[in-house]
Amino acid sequence: MNFTRRKVSFLFALMAMIGVLLILINPAYAQDETPGTPTDNEVNAIAKQLYCPVCENIPLDVCPTQACAEWRELIRLKLSEGWDEGQIKQYFVEQYGARVLSSPPASGFNWLVYIIPAVGILIGIFLLYKAFQSLRAPLKVDEEDDLPEVDDDYVARLEDELRNR
């Protein structure tokens, strides 16, 4: 009898835990937004690629100004109207210029932003290679050609003795 009582209490505890879990999960479904409304994550995914046109060097997704809050709502509105990321970014570029983009467009003079670092790294690697290569190469010295003519007899005898060793 004790064994069946344990079974019943185990089943009761299991059912209670399942009931509690269902109660906790249910409000999460009730908080879902309507299907046409973009989430904050979708808005911030685009906003972090744009800089605030008013503030200096602050991404739109973290800027605390009222203007940025309005621009984030504008992004939400454009997303709900069916605009994609490229169209929204192009809209902001047309309104405020290319300075609102977090990465400059790869066209015209802006290509240098992408090319110069790569070229600099390649030149640095080449210079390091040449420096290590010159350090590894033995120093070639022709002793007799490099010695200056000495008028002093003492120095001449000393050099002769050193060569003969």
Q: Cα separation of 56 and 53, whole Å? A: 7
Sign of CA dihedral 52, 56, 58, 63: negative
pLDDT of 33 reads 52
**CATH class name, domain 40-100:** mainly alpha
CA distances from 18 to 7, 12, 22, 140 (A): 16, 10, 6, 85
Q: Is the pLDDT of residue 138 over 50?
A: yes
Delimit the domains of the chain by residue range: 1-32, 40-100, 106-165
Cβ(51)–Cβ(60) below 8 Å: yes
Continuous segment of H or E residues that includes residue 154: helix 153-164
Whether pTM exceeds 0.85: no
- pLDDT classification of 124: cutoffs 50, 70, 90: very high
**pLDDT one-digit tens code per residue, 62-86:** 888 888 888 889 889 989 988 888 8
Please list the residues that pair with 59 across neighbouring strands.
Answer: 51
pLDDT of 149 reads 66
